[in-house]
Amino acid sequence: MGIQGMELCAMAVVVLLFIAVLKQFGILEPMSMEDSSDSELELSTVRHQPEGLDQLQAQTKFTKKELQSLYRGFKNECPTGLVDEDTFKLIYSQFFPQGDATTYAHFLFNAFDADGNGAIHFEDFVVGLSILLRGTVHEKLKWAFNLYDINKDGCITKEEMLAIMKSIYDMMGRHTYPILREDAPLEHVERFFQKMDRNQDGVVTIDEFLETCQKDENIMNSMQLFENVI
């Protein structure tokens, strides 16, 4: 993967990794009627009680049966109903055993930890997953912007984007072909800002990000790849 491929990697790797995690959880396996009944009952009895199925169905683009299946996989891996950052990092490190996914997993964890309390609830998980797999292009791009906006101040700086790109490079860049140069993450950031920072004030706002991405055919195509995974 050359620098061109890294252009889209930051979004695509989010979805690809979650598909892998879903398969590890067993979430993509068919459910029997018994599984469905058990999952619905357990949704109201776990240590951390998530919102009711009807409310989660209204908040997401998953059906009731899909939510039951998602919950079954989630609670099998996370019996307490919560995922802390260490667990999240452990899960992702399994997919890149020869790289270092720690930093990228940290950034991704923060993007899913909607209330910033240091734990991902089942609700956080399915709401984020719904956006990535079933959301509109606008919703997916806003989610991606939130991932890049590390300090959540409403704009992306070069330092933030460089941190994200270095984390992706640490996770998978060493195993690309041809091998990327050490300055590849910085080169990507400069190209990102040349394209996105329309008023050249040194930061990328959500409006600049959305406008530029929606005019990029490659980015738009990448947003549609995983809509019917589950």
> For each of the chain's 230 residues, which pLDDT tens digit applies?
333 334 444 444 455 555 555 555 444 444 444 444 454 545 544 444 455 788 888 999 998 888 888 888 777 777 787 888 888 788 777 777 778 889 988 998 888 887 888 888 888 888 888 888 888 888 988 988 998 999 999 999 999 999 988 888 888 755 555 556 667 788 888 988 998 999 999 999 999 999 998 888 877 776 665 555 55
Q: Among 81, 6, 7, which residue's Cα sits nearest to residue 46? A: 81
pLDDT at site 103? 92
In the chain, where does DSSP find H-type helix? 3-25, 33-42, 53-59, 64-77, 85-93, 102-112, 122-134, 137-148, 158-172, 184-196, 206-214, 217-223
pLDDT at site 203? 97
Helices 158-172 and 3-25, axial angle in degrees (round to 10): 60
- Write down the CATH number for the domain with range 136-229: 1.10.238.10
Task: Return all residues near 89 (Cβ < 8 A) that are at least 6 apart.
Answer: 101, 102, 105, 106, 109
Report, in angstroms and rounded to the nearest whole number, the Rg of the chain calculated over CA atoms: 18
Look at phi and psi of residue 82 and say left if phi exceeds 0, alpha if psi is from -120 to 50, else beta.
Answer: beta
CA gap 39, 5 in Å, rounded: 40
pLDDT at site 206? 96
CATH 1.10.238.10 in the chain, residue ranges:
61-133, 136-229
Residue 131 phi, psi (nearest 5): -65, -45
Number of Cβ atoms within 10 Å of the Cβ of 210: 17
- Backbone CA torsion sign across 200, 203, 205, 209: positive
- For the whole prediction, is pTM greater than 0.85? no
Write out the two tokens for 190: 């400069």
CA gap 188, 173 in Å, rounded: 13
Contact 160, 83 (CB under 8 A): no
Task: Return all residues near 185 (Cβ < 8 A) that are at least 6 apart.
Answer: 162, 165, 166, 168, 169, 173
Question: Which residue type does 154 have?
Answer: G
CA gap 183, 181 in Å, rounded: 5
pLDDT at site 92? 73
Topology classification of domain 61-133: Recoverin; domain 1 (1.10.238)
